[in-house]
Amino acid sequence: MLFPFRGFERDLSMKRKIILNRLLISLGTIFLIVTISFILVNLMPGDPLVNIMGDDQYYRVKYSDPELLEEIAKKYGLDGSLGERYVKYLGNILRLDFGFSFTRNRSVLDIVLYRLRWTLVLAVPATILSALFGALLGIRAGWYQNGLLDRIMTPLTLVLNTIPTNCTAILFLTLFSYKLRLFPISGMASGGLTGGAYIRDVMWHMCLPLSVMVLSRTCSNFIHMKSYVIQVKGEEYILTAVAKGVPKTKVLFRHVLKNALLPYVTILCMQFGHIVSGSVMIEVVFSWVGMGNVMNTAISASDFPIMQMCFLLTAVCMVVSSILADVLYVLLDPRIKEV
């Protein structure tokens, strides 16, 4: 400890190196994902136009008007060799040009961004609320292990975790919307409202999907947080602190939480990666027209440009959130010094 500052500086440069390393890896990952999505559309057996247009339409056009086919191919950037197409595709992605939707005849970017907004309205509050609930309950259950809360919550979350979210959503829908008639059956807003009334109406429509999401995520957050608290509680430095006579609340906030929240933050970061399309099931059941619903309809209509963009957006979002988690972990945890 003679030269604390020199050590500190070295730590910082080490950390910078680690973070740079992670950034490079994730850039590589994004490139890989972009390539995979190209391969998925272009290297599938048969003419990619068949996949884009669907069997019937492809053969109809092929026999009636072969020139139109070439034109369509050009429009989708499907003329030229595979290498040329790949380069062109990369250029388009860099310019954020994702092409035209086949079924809706609008720019894919427009459609997806509009839907994304509605998904975020649902997913952002859900993530934040469940993070809070999960942390509070988890900390209490872990700190008073085998206490009342722990004995109730642990089996409950175990069971709830095994029910798929679409099933929970259906159960909520039948119970609260059909039986008790407390909430609207589906959709995002009633028509013809503006200003404050509109916002209130949207929030009313949001209640059920939001609570299903919060419920399912709180369960997994609770399990994680509880196990982190228990893990840290068993460490020897906690025993030392208790033996030294540090008050219990101080042990909890100063020593246990400081360490237990670290992995929890990482988990939360990873959850932000699911924000874009982690709510597919809930959106489908409650007819919430967000990303999940767009994805679902695009798949059943074989609308490849939209699928491609959803694939890219989801994957990139996950990569970004995982790099965020890594970087935060490295920055927050003073123990990490190696790659």
Partner 1 sequence: MIKNIWKEFRKNRAFRLGVILLLFFISMAVLAPVIAPYDPEALLGMPNQRPSAAHWLGTNDIGQDIFSELVYGSRISLKVGIVAALAVTTLGSTIGMVAGYYKGVVDKVFTVLTNVAMTIPSLPLTILLVGFLKTGMLGMVVAICITAWAGTARVVRAKVLQIRELPYIQIEKLMGVSDFKVLFKHIVPNIADIVMTRCALSVGGAMMTETSLSFLGLGSFTQKSWGNILHFAFYRNGVINNMWWWYLPPILCISGCMLGFVLVTHYGRSRSQLIKG
* The one among 178, 237, 254, 337 contacting partner 1 by CB under 8 A: 178
CB of 322 to partner 1, least distance (A): 4
* The one among 261, 318, 324, 330 contacting partner 1 by CB under 8 A: 318
CB of 298 to partner 1, least distance (A): 8
Asked whether the beta carbons of 102 and 305 are under 8 A apart, the reply is yes
| Three-state helix/strand/coil letters over 289-333 | CCHHHHHHHHHHCCCHHHHHHHHHHHHHHHHHHHHHHHHHHHHHC
Q: Which stretch binds partner 1 (CB under 8 A): 6-14, 54-62, 79-87, 159-167?
A: 159-167
Give residues with Cβ within 8 angstroms of 222, minimum separation 6.
133, 134, 137, 138, 141, 153, 157
Helix (H, G, I), strand (E, B) or coil at 269: helix
Q: H or E stretch including 274?
A: none
DSSP state of 173: I
Q: Which stretch binds partner 1 (CB under 8 A): 106-114, 120-128, 194-202, 268-276?
A: 268-276
Nearest residue (CB) to partner 1, 218 versus 314: 314
**Kindly report the CA angle at 143 between 139 and 146, in degrees rounded to 5?**
115
Nearest residue (CB) to partner 1, 257 versus 318: 318
Amino acid sitting at position 333: D
Work out whether 64 is an interface residue with partner 1 (CB under 8 A): no
Work out whether 144 is an interface residue with partner 1 (CB under 8 A): no
Q: CA torsion sign, 278 to 325 to 230 to 257?
A: negative
* The one among 18, 126, 141, 280 contacting partner 1 by CB under 8 A: 280
Nearest residue (CB) to partner 1, 257 versus 312: 312
Percentage helix, strand, coil for the chain under 3-state DSSP, each rounded to 5:
75, 0, 20
Q: Which stretch binds partner 1 (CB under 8 A): 56-64, 141-149, 209-217, 313-321?
A: 313-321
CB of 33 to partner 1, least distance (A): 8
As given in the structure block, the two tokens for residue 287 are 């007819």
> Which x/- pattern, by CB under 8 A, does the window 5-44 give for partner 1?
--------------------x---x--xx------xx--x
Which residues form the interface with partner 1 (CB under 8 A)?
A: 25, 29, 32-33, 40-41, 44, 158-159, 161-167, 170-171, 173-174, 178-179, 185, 273-274, 276-278, 280-281, 284-285, 292, 295-296, 298-300, 302, 307, 310-311, 314-315, 318-319, 322
